Amino acid sequence: MDLEEDIRSLQLDSAEDINGVVNPEDEKPDVDNFDKMEDEDPKQEVQAQSVEAEPKAKDKEIPPVQDEEDEHMKKRHLNVVFIGHVDAGKSTTGGQILFLSGQVDDRTIQKYEKEAKDKSRESWYMAYIMDTNEEERVKGKTVEVGRAHFETDTTRFTILDAPGHKSYVPNMISGASQADIGVLVISARKGEFETGYERGGQTREHVQLAKTLGVTKLLVVVNKMDDPTVNWSKERYDEIESKMVPFLKQSGYNVKKDVSFLPISGLMGLNIKTRLDKSHCSWWDGPCLFESLDSIEVPMGDPQSPFRMPIIDKFKDMGTVVMGKVESGTIKDGDSLLIMPNKDHVKVVAIYIDEKRVNIAGPGENLRVRLSGIEEEDLLSGFVLSSAANPISTVTEFVAQLQILELLDNAIFTAGYKAVLHVHSVVEECEIVELLEQIDPKTRKPIKKKVLFVKNGAIVLCRVQVNNVICVEKFSDFPQLGRFTLRTEGKTVAVGKITAI
């Protein structure tokens, strides 16, 4: 694997005018019940064939699975989303990870160095590994969610490099909704941490969105520690940690159990694959980034539950190919499945993980699945590849428990309120048709009086209606398919979970 495996996908076509952020100073969001996540993958069963010293011609439809590939598939798989304020160093750190893990060769790096220098952007060359299109390279801003793969001794990781700029928050939501682990990248450079952390910065909104989208484990990497304004200062590192911990608690994270902090230099590649040398930083005695990622435990999904894979992209390639992450159940070569909500019967012709063809895949895996029985133009992002015996629910209305974060100025949250709903890979306009009851945040019990409208910080049970049929599940049955966010004019105004369909 000496070539860059940087696949561009997951583009959300949202018609929103994105220009706002969440105010985290209001009451703590109701995220305590959003952390029972069940989408880590089991050990994969891969049908292996013996390989002779002199391989025979590949005259069979399914190529033989090599021994080393068999070992590769036995490793657990996790999706890691890189989040944080614009210019914190997410793409650079992701590029450095790919370089250090052998996914990108020296020659490619030298080409990127020359290209960055020609643009008078010498320090951006590592980001070019993740930011592949010209617009991203010229502006120095990630727009789409970059995707790439790397491995450690025990785990296969898919990197999801989310955009940091507030204009591309819907794309960040798309990336984070597929993630098992979040890596929050913070710049230690003088002034940059403060810009990202204060009101209007994306550090806060990204943390809140990651939590409500089901990212229960967070690794906070304090980047740019080699910057002249920092020079591996323990005081600066401690200052950032002391400011972040209260906010992470307020956002619903159990800091002792689910959050780790570590210092790195993404540009120089320090404390990423190997531990920091004492000559660089005398006070740090903790793990490097790879060790920290390897040590994170994420609950396993159920391979026996009904199959669900939201479709995030589709294309033609010797038939119709769909891309997505398996949220539950197991898929096998030859399976007969349903595409919902259209109820189209399809057959699985081939399954691919990281360019490798496999016969079976379980929860947590990112797949490309070739299907027969449907045309590419009949599919949309947000459709779900589903078990035929137990298909996913399709609705135009559902009951949900909502936590109001921050409404737009002068807005009233009442029946008739309209917003854009983000649930797994669906983006759909919706309307609140009825407020059923308000819930006391302290006792978690309903407030008996009739509710006509609610303010920031309120928890409310309501009926939500969407314009088109969408595929969702109750949060209690499939957490990743039952949690959602509501956004208005570029602001995340509420987070919720579906309680009844």
Query: Is 2 within a domain?
Result: no
Rounded to the nearest 5 degrees, what angle is found at the Cα of 398, between the Cα atoms of 392 and 402? Answer: 115
Task: Mention every residue, 6+ apart, whose C-beta is less than 8 A from residue 388.
Answer: 336, 337, 338, 345
Number of helices (H), then strands (E), in the chain: 10, 25
Is the domain of 441 the same as that of 491?
A: yes
Let me know whether 321 and 281 are in one domain. no
Residue type, 98: L
Q: How far apart are CA 168 and CA 2, in angstroms?
A: 31
Q: Let me know if 56 is exposed, middle or buried by CB neighbors in 10 A (0-12, 13-18, 19+).
A: exposed
Question: Does pTM surpass 0.75?
Answer: no
And the tokens for 180? 């098992």
Contacts of 57 (CB under 8 A, 6+ apart): none
> Could you give the CA distance from residue 49 to residue 46 in angstroms, rounded to a whole number?
10
Same domain, 193 and 111: yes
Placement of tokens 């969610």 in the chain: 145
> Do both 453 and 357 map to the same domain?
no
What CATH number has the domain bearing residue 252? Answer: 3.40.50.300
Q: Are both 135 and 184 inside the same structural domain? A: yes
Same domain (yes/no): 212, 345: no
Task: Let me know whether 231 and 156 are in one domain.
Answer: yes
342 and 259, same domain (yes or no): no
Closest-CA residue to 361 (of 320, 289, 301, 314): 301
The answer as to whether 247 is a domain residue is yes
Residue 177 lies in a domain: yes
Per-residue pLDDT in tens (0 to 9) along the chain, 501 residues = 443 343 333 333 333 333 333 333 334 444 444 333 333 333 333 333 333 333 333 333 334 433 334 444 577 888 888 888 777 787 788 888 888 887 766 666 666 666 666 655 545 455 555 544 444 334 343 334 456 788 888 888 888 765 544 444 555 565 566 778 889 999 998 888 888 777 666 677 778 777 777 788 899 999 999 999 999 999 999 999 999 998 888 888 889 999 999 999 988 889 999 999 888 889 999 999 999 999 988 876 778 889 999 988 888 888 899 988 888 899 999 999 999 999 999 999 999 987 788 999 888 888 889 999 888 888 888 899 999 999 999 999 999 999 888 788 778 899 999 999 988 888 899 999 999 998 887 787 888 778 888 888 888 999 999 999 999 999 988 888 888 889 888 778 888 899 998
Q: In 10 A of CB 412, how many CB atoms? A: 11
Would you say residue 66 lies in a domain? no
d(CA 142, CA 86): 8
The amino acid at residue 56 is K
In a shared domain, residues 142 and 257: yes
271 within some domain: yes
**Residue 463: which domain range?**
393-500
Structure-token match 């250090």, residue found? 100
Rounded Cα distance, 63 and 350, in Å: 11
Read off φ and ψ for residue 327, nearest 5 degrees. Answer: -90, -30
Q: Are residues 379 and 398 in the same domain?
A: no
CATH number at residue 412: 2.40.30.10
What total number of domains does the chain contain? Answer: 3
